[in-house]
Chains A and B, each alone.
Chain A
């Protein structure tokens, strides 16, 4: 038995003991299960709390069984295994009902890899294992009211003090700040240096009284993201990631990781809404030629996005910028899917008529738009692709 086979057997054993197996076959059954689209659902505050609690409990069990961070270095709590083990785990886990992992998209999908890639030994040792065990939750404090697409224009100031930095400023669009314990903060440490050279990344304590988190109501009607006000927060030198002044390089790497995550649908299982849309077309009796061809076109795009994202992930030479391209492809696909959903679902997408499986689609209608903005707008990403991957001159 190979190591990988042995690993699969152990994963299977763990999953059997800790999770319910899903009925065989992944095709969604119409009228059964949650009338929601995973990945495009707005939860009430209560639901979000319950989901987050369940997800954290699951992560703890997973971590304690040795499966919580398969590809991470052993000295920081990882299992030190190759990506093929993660693939094997994902494949097996797809057969089980596991609490939604959405609350980890930022902490494990974005902040964790940044710490692992850029922070010094002490920060890694202190935070990586607790993040992967869900003892700590993390958020990303990048955007500001005056620094959106022009992210390098951040104004949040860090002033040198004995043993650290005193930080004052304001961040915005911070997902999950309200349940986070630590934050990855982008600040200006040198106002004299050229824009991109005066920035630094710090890890901050979100429970510090100098930080105030105010929920922001989104287009969905709920408050998943926040404004974060920072007033005289002290950050010790030990919590600076990399050297002061290298923040732009670290932030770029963080954003690249974020885009890679977004090009895979946030690593959410059942993220691709297409099987559900196909099921809807059958259930609603949409057999017209326009529906059939539009769904076929989505099948093409869905497969192309998956194939391309996989290929780009394996492309080490272009790893830094390729996620921008993957995210653009995913965005195009989702926008096209939204338009086809209008045709397939029909009026049930704009009014809750009580008919199962129709009203849930309005969430996708709205949420898809954040895909085009978060982690870099389409336009910023096309600049990155054309300048960094194609070598075209900056305007």
Chain B
């Protein structure tokens, strides 16, 4: 690991000594675990859809190198360049997001994919981290200059992103983006009274969704009383953890991956539970928790509101996705399609997460003048 000396002042050398190497290690382990679990879970799914058994493995591997490169390159950038990149990329992703509505391919009732040559891109995955950074910029400006209408601008931005997402429809991503944006508002100093109002509004939104949207109602009903409907997927997922036990049935020995249609994406955690056991799952949860909480800890030293809001927003997105996905797998939350960061199969998801975590790494780098009580000195 110490290929660089402290005196190495090249770009790479400085990067190595200023980056949060613990987070880097944790992300590396997650990506490795993701590849391993895709290897475990996806051949069964691939065979079921009539593809080559390593179809998903090959595709995921294909995305892996560019994703790692994107993460590395972005992590080299100083915060200002991160912000500029985010703004430009946000505009590009937004165009694609809107284009999806008109040109996208409808899969399972939703129009989320844009097919470009051999690739199919899911712009909503990319819009998440980019929106978070742009929104953080608006709110940070508002902190520096209370006269700046950062709140209004970021609200307008949120609405602009949420509309095409709802039209797809993709309530999961809408909910996630809304939650992260609210958390950013909260961090940016939203008065407690407004926080309360927003919390109530969120509650009202869930209740309203229950009564107005039948499929939401059905999912919540099934969560609360499993007898009321088909709980096949969640039953299978739960049995995976019980049959897996502490040590798992062993790699390749699982059966639920042959039954669950989304074993390689939404329910990959259950596959991990069945084949590698509860201990491996606890380690995975620990890795996610480590990345989020260590990122938060580094941001606590931060003095720049943009860095703090953007970094925290990205980490909240990452953490929320993990918590929701694992929560659904463990039947702690109603069924909701949400990828498990770096673990679930999905090229767009992997690339977008690499982008997001690249920005987190960039923002949490040790910079001149920034206190380093928790940062670079520890490794």
A binds B: no
